[in-house]
């Protein structure tokens, strides 16, 4: 006896003899049988049914009571379920509780409309070594199933997988349901559901006198104040949640002071990219790109590679220079303090261009010398006169020969950008959206102008060879 339909199809798979028809569903989860002739003794019918089930491979999920019913009720052609497969069951997912806020701080958008309270600019995901990050209550694993033919069915995957520890995190040694931080830093959950901590050097309190010299290869965060005389330097960012007082702060990228920069006229701030501060009194501030402040710069020497900006802040006294634009609320004070605002000065940019052009020339000279050294060493090598030290030197020269052109290309790209900026600063301007007090001295390019009478909502721009005050729209 052979199956009536041996090819896979949505129709049931049939097996039969002279009196019994057995059908197996396409998914092999149900087997049904029907008997057409009950003239044979029941033991004989039972034997035939068992033989047909063996031939069809039905060996799991046998419904004994249904088989008895089929034989005893003696209803010709009545189809009865004689075997039923066991579906795989989905497990219950683990219960996951985030013990911290994993959301990263939103990016600062430094423009003249940005007026966030910097005291509220905390990192939601800032954690310390040993901080519990995630608590996981284990779920229930899924159960496998099987068809009426005994074919195993894998358990259904759990819809939500539990997080796992990744970089700088691990399971708590005394509590296997907790993932904790290995170091101070910023905690994240990756798209792959891995818990990680990005390391940060963190001073949990004040930078006191015994911590005066602080250096970080990455970013450095001071949770408290920075005391007078302290020197803090980081290759990436420096962030101070308290007040910096007569300190020396330097960062390869950004310096962010949540409060202010105060003291007795000592200290400085140098940011390779942006300087972001609440306020500053009588300080030197330099930023490669922008200086953004919230309330005021009083008596400062501020210099920005692009802009000095504040939505509601004022500048009183000092010398404040931006390459492209100054955009503030108020300039000067009712006491008519002399206040210098400068934009569009090309000297610093031209000095940078000159230094970079000189650097390119030095690289070309170094490349020529490297090629000569390689040639001399290769000649010696051909004559079998090369020492081990010279072999090492040859490898180093060949590596330099490959690296120097790349360095030259990178500097040339920067030069192209700087030359574009030379064109851009021809349109430099100073914009004050509130009061401009007497004794405010504005310089744009090579032109300057001193305010004698208080005025409001003006923009200093160059027009027809003069520095004019243009009303803001």
Q: Are 401 and 370 in contact (CB under 8 A)?
A: yes
Q: What pLDDT does 2 receive?
A: 45
Q: Are 57 and 149 in contact (CB under 8 A)?
A: yes
| Total length of the chain | 473
Letter string b/e over residues 38-52, b meaning 16 or more CB atoms within 10 A of that residue's CB:
eeeeeeebeebbeeb
Provide the pLDDT confidence category of residue 210 given band limits of 50, 70 and 90.
low
CB atoms within 10 A of CB 445: 16
Residue 335, token pair as written in the block: 């006491």
Q: Are 11 and 26 in contact (CB under 8 A)?
A: yes
| C-alpha R_g of the chain | 40
pLDDT digits (tens, 9 = 90+) for 165-204: 999 999 999 998 999 999 999 999 999 999 999 999 999 8
How far apart are alpha carbons 81 and 388 in whole angstroms?
86
Q: Cα-flanking dihedrals φ and ψ of residue 449, to 5°?
A: -160, 140
The neighbouring-strand residues paired with 462 are: 467
Q: Are 204 and 186 in contact (CB under 8 A)?
A: no
Residue 16, token pair as written in the block: 């039969």
How far apart are alpha carbons 239 and 237 in whole angstroms?
6
Q: What pLDDT does 392 receive?
A: 87
Over pLDDT 90: what percentage of the chain? 63
How far apart are alpha carbons 137 and 144 in whole angstroms?
22
Q: What pLDDT does 91 receive?
A: 85
Q: What is the mean pLDDT of residues 376-389?
A: 81
pLDDT digits (tens, 9 = 90+) for 114-154: 777 777 788 999 999 999 999 998 888 889 999 999 999 99
Residue 324 has pLDDT above 80, yes or no: yes
Residue 38 has pLDDT above 80, yes or no: yes
Q: Is 368 helix (H, G, I), strand (E, B) or coil?
A: helix
Q: What is the DSSP string of 272-318?
A: SSEEEEEEEES-EEEESSEEEEEEEEES-EEEESSEEE-SS-EEESS
Q: Is 127 helix (H, G, I), strand (E, B) or coil?
A: strand
Letter string b/e over residues 16-32, b meaning 16 or more CB atoms within 10 A of that residue's CB:
beebbbbbbbeebbbbb
Provide the pLDDT confidence category of residue 3 given band limits of 50, 70 and 90.
low
Residue 8 has pLDDT above 70, yes or no: no
Residue 79 has pLDDT above 80, yes or no: yes
Provide the pLDDT confidence category of residue 423 given band limits of 50, 70 and 90.
confident
Residue 212 has pLDDT above 80, yes or no: no
Residue 9 has pLDDT above 80, yes or no: no
Q: What pLDDT does 1 receive?
A: 46
Give me the chain's average pLDDT, please: 90
Tokens 């081990």 belong to 388
Alpha carbon of 416 to those of 150, 256, 407: distances in Å? 72, 30, 14
Spell out the domain ranges in the chain: 13-84, 95-199, 201-344, 348-426
Provide the pLDDT confidence category of residue 375 given band limits of 50, 70 and 90.
confident
Residue 438 has pLDDT above 90, yes or no: yes
pLDDT digits (tens, 9 = 90+) for 270-294: 999 999 999 999 999 999 999 999 9
218 DSSP assignment: S
Alpha carbon of 354 to those of 213, 347, 351, 358: distances in Å? 34, 10, 5, 6
**Is residue 267 packed enough to be buried (19+ CB in 10 Å), middle (13-18) or exposed (0-12)?**
buried
Q: Are 197 and 182 in contact (CB under 8 A)?
A: yes
How far apart are alpha carbons 158 and 139 in whole angstroms?
9
The H-or-E segment that residue 363 falls in is helix 347-382
pLDDT digits (tens, 9 = 90+) for 231-243: 999 999 999 999 9
Q: What pLDDT does 138 receive?
A: 85
Task: Compute the CA torsion angle 354, 355, 361, 365 (nearest 10 deg).
Answer: 160
């Amino acid at each position: 006896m052979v199956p009536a339909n041996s090819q896979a199809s949505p129709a049931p798979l049939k097996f039969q003899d002279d009196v019994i028809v057995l059908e197996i569903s396409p998914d092999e989860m149900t087997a049904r049988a029907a008997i057409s002739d009950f003239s044979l003794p029941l033991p004989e019918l039972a034997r035939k049914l068992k033989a047909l089930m063996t031939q069809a491979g039905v060996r799991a999920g046998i419904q004994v009571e249904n088989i008895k019913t089929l034989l005893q009720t003696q209803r010709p052609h009545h189809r009865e379920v004689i075997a039923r497969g066991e579906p795989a069951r989905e497990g219950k997912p683990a219960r996951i509780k985030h013990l911290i806020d994993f959301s990263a701080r939103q990016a600062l958008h430094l423009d003249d409309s940005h007026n966030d309270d910097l005291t509220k600019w905390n990192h939601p995901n800032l954690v310390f070594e040993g901080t519990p990050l995630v608590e996981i209550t284990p779920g229930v694993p899924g159960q496998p199933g099987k068809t009426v033919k005994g074919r195993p069915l894998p358990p259904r995957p759990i819809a939500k997988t539990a997080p796992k520890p990744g970089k700088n995190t691990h399971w708590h040694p005394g509590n296997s349901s907790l993932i904790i931080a290995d170091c101070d830093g910023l905690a994240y959950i990756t798209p792959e559901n891995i818990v990680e901590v990005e390391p940060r050097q963190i001073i949990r309190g004040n930078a006191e006198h015994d911590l005066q010299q602080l250096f970080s290869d990455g970013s450095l965060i001071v949770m408290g104040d920075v005391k007078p005389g302290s020197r803090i330097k980081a290759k990436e960012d420096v962030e101070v949640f308290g007040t910096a007082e007569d300190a020396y702060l330097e960062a390869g990228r950004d310096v962010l002071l949540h409060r202010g920069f105060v003291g007795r006229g000592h200290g400085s701030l140098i940011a390779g990219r942006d300087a972001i501060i609440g306020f500053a009194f009588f300080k030197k501030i330099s930023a490669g790109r922008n200086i953004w402040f919230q309330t005021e710069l009083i008596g400062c020497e501020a210099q920005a590679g692009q802009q000095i900006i504040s939505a509601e802040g004022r500048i009183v006294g000092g010398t404040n220079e931006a390459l492209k634009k100054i955009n503030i609320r108020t300039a000067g004070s009712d006491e008519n303090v002399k206040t210098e605002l400068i934009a569009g000065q090309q000297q610093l940019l031209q000095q940078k261009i000159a230094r970079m052009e000189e650097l390119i020339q030095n690289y070309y000279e170094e490349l020529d010398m490297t090629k000569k050294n390689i040639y001399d060493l290769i000649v010696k090598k051909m004559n079998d006169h090369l020492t081990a030290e010279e072999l090492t030197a040859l490898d180093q020269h060949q590596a330099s020969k490959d690296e120097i052109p790349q360095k030259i290309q990178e500097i040339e790209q920067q030069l192209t950008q700087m030359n574009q900026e030379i064109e851009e600063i021809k349109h430099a301007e100073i914009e004050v959206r509130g009061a401009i007090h007497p004794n405010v001295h504005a310089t744009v390019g090579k032109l300057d102008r001193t305010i004698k009478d208080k005025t409001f909502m003006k923009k200093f721009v160059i027009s027809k060879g003069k520095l004019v005050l243009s009303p803001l729209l």
